Chain A
Amino acid sequence: MFRILYNFRIALFFGTMNMVTATFFAIIIGTTLGILFGFILCYGNKYVKFPFRLYVDLVRGIPALVLIFSIYYILGFFLSRVGINLDNLKSGIIALSAFSAAQVAEITRGALQSIPKDQIEAGKAIGLSFDKIFIFILFPQAIAKIVPPWINTATEMCKGTTLLSLIGVRELLLTASQLIATSGDALVYYMFIGLIFFLVNTLIQLFGKLLEKKVSFYQL
């Protein structure tokens, strides 16, 4: 059993690398955009808010798989008209980032809105400008509330990379399926990559717990 896995170690290694790359970029891009969107959703005026609200609601209303297919086929279709070939890993990363951005935006909005209004007023009363209030008062408290649900989103993204196999990104699941097509032993391969996912997710959760400990300092 370990022999077959050892024979295909290189393919499995590259599969893991693709999975980690996609997860990493999806989390980084998604978190950055998501926090920005969440900020706008909380403090923007009605007209600024509207497109972001629409984006978040639409993306959260469709399944991740449909989003991935839509972006892959629609973006690929239009880019191919202007002569650009969209690489499927990139389009997958775009889709996953768009997905996690919507999730993180909603988390951030909730966190920012849960901070009592009188803290802003208190900040104004002692003469702080809004950016100072945001940086020193609101954001530290918000981040303490963002991190716990953010860990969930991050593991969702790691698990979501398996969906990229359906648009032909050679990540772990597709690698395993291709190896199974040549050598059988479906259960062995699938269990093995299950183990890899389990380990990566555990790592993400450990990292999240460390982060949580660090930022919980700001929680009142």
Chain B
Amino acid sequence: MVYYFSFRVVQSNIGHMLNGLGLGLFIGVISLFFGIILGLIVAFAAVSSNRAFNNIATWYTVFFRNIPLLLLAFIVYFGLPDVGIMMERKVSFIFTLSLYAGAYMAEIFRAGLQAIPKGIIEAGQVIGLTRFHICWNIQLPIMFRNVLPSMSNVLISLFKDTSLAASITVPELTYFARKLNVETFRVLEAWLSAAFLYIVTCYLMAYLLRKLEHKLRIE
């Protein structure tokens, strides 16, 4: 059984594929951004002393962590128009991924907030800081530094999850790989090059994020 490689089809489509990769990165990063905001709100709700807030936060995380992402994307893209909410493809996927990321970030932030020693917060109260200042100047900086490794994991997995956007025909890398496969039947070339691009990007991201962690570490 012989297979003759011919990477010419990949070569002529590499521009599309790199654009797709860039779009995936963009969707991943922007979803992480919204996910962080959402996650912060939910995490503060989860650690607050208000029972109603706690319950809402728990249900939010449990719901989004137990529903498949692809199903969520379909609910948002195909289901929500039934109740009159229509979104453009990319926007709808970013919306989905942000909600999904929010649940994961909330869990991470909650753990991070609970890991801050009580004494530090009490010290802040003693010197007369307001609640806002304690949160903004004490809790958040400490928490962010501690949760950075988990956050970089989430960013990488979000980037990988952007491949699901191909299912609602957002033109990202997986979409082009599949298109190449179907149109030219260069099976191996299409998938190997897509996998290669994903792996290289993931490794590069992991490397850069680790550098960042080293830079921000407290000695």
Question: Could you say which of B135-143, B197-205, B211-219 contacts chain A?
Answer: B197-205
CB pair B71 A173 closer than 8 Å: yes
Chain B residues with CB under 8 Å of A193's CB are 71
Hey, which chain B residues are within 8 Å of A159, CB to CB?
Answer: 66-69
B1 interfacial contact with A, CB 8 Å: yes
Whether the Cβ atoms of B198 and A62 lie closer than 8 Å is yes
Q: Kindly list chain B residues whose C-beta atoms are within 8 Å of the C-beta of A65.
A: 163-164, 166-167, 174
CB of A133 within 8 A of chain B?
no
B169-206, CB < 8 A from A: 174, 177-178, 181, 187-188, 190-192, 194-195, 198-199, 202-203
- Is the beta-carbon distance between B163 and A198 smaller than 8 angstroms? no
For A37-67 the 0/1 string (1 means CB < 8 A from B) is 0000000000000000000001001111111
Question: Which A residues lie within 8 Å of B69 (CB)?
Answer: 159, 162
A197 adjacent to B83 (CB under 8 Å): no
**Closest-CB distance, B43 to chain A (whole angstroms):** 19
Contact status of A162 and B198, CB under 8 A, knowing A66-B163, A74-B188 = no
> Of B1, B75, B161, B194, which one neighbours A187 at CB under 8 angstroms?
B75
Given contacts A58-B199, A69-B177, A191-B75, contact A63 B1 (CB under 8 A): no
Judging by beta carbons under 8 Å apart, are B67 and A198 in contact? yes
- Which interface class (under 10, 10 to 19, 20 to 34, 35 or more) fits A? 35 or more
Interface assignment of B22: CB less than 8 Å from any CB of chain A: no
When the two chains form their complex, are residues A180 and B78 in contact, meaning their CB atoms are under 8 A apart? yes
Bin chain B's interface residue count: 35 or more
Report if A202 contacts B (CB, 8 A). yes
**Closest chain A residue to B24, Cβ basis:** A63
Q: How far is the CA of A128 from the CA of B68 in the complex (A)?
A: 47
Q: In the bound complex, do residue A62 and residue B199 qualify as a contact, i.e. CB atoms below 8 Å apart?
A: yes
Kindly state the separation between the CA atoms of A77 and B166 in the bound complex, as whole angstroms: 22
> Any chain A CB within 8 A of the CB of B70?
yes
The answer to the question of B89 belonging to the interface, with a C-beta cut-off of 8 Å to chain A, is no
Is B195's CB under 8 angstroms from A62's CB?
Answer: yes
Interface class of chain B by DSSP: helix
- Give the distance to chain B from A64, nearest Cβ to Cβ, in Å: 7
- 1/0 contact string of B73-86 vs chain A (CB within 8 Å): 01100111111000
CA distance A186 to B67 in the complex (A): 16
A68 to B: closest C-beta gap in Å: 10
Distance in Å from the Cβ of B122 to the closest Cβ of chain A? 32
Chain B residues in 8 Å Cβ range of A180: 78
Partner of A78, one of B1, B66, B80, B82: B1
Quick check: B199 and A63 within 8 Å, CB to CB?
no
Residues of chain B having any CB pair with chain A under 8 Å: 1, 3, 63, 65-71, 74-75, 78-83, 160-164, 166-167, 174, 177-178, 181, 187-188, 190-192, 194-195, 198-199, 202-203
Additional pairs, 20, CB under 8 Å, beyond known A63-B198, A162-B69: A58-B199, A62-B202, A64-B163, A66-B163, A66-B177, A73-B181, A73-B190, A159-B68, A160-B68, A161-B68, A173-B70, A173-B71, A180-B78, A186-B75, A186-B78, A186-B81, A190-B79, A197-B66, A197-B68, A198-B63
Sample 5 A-B pairs with CB under 8 A, ordered by A number. Answer: A58-B195, A61-B195, A65-B167, A78-B3, A186-B75
The 8 closest A-B pairs by CB, nearest first: A61-B199, A159-B68, A63-B163, A63-B160, A187-B79, A70-B191, A162-B68, A201-B66
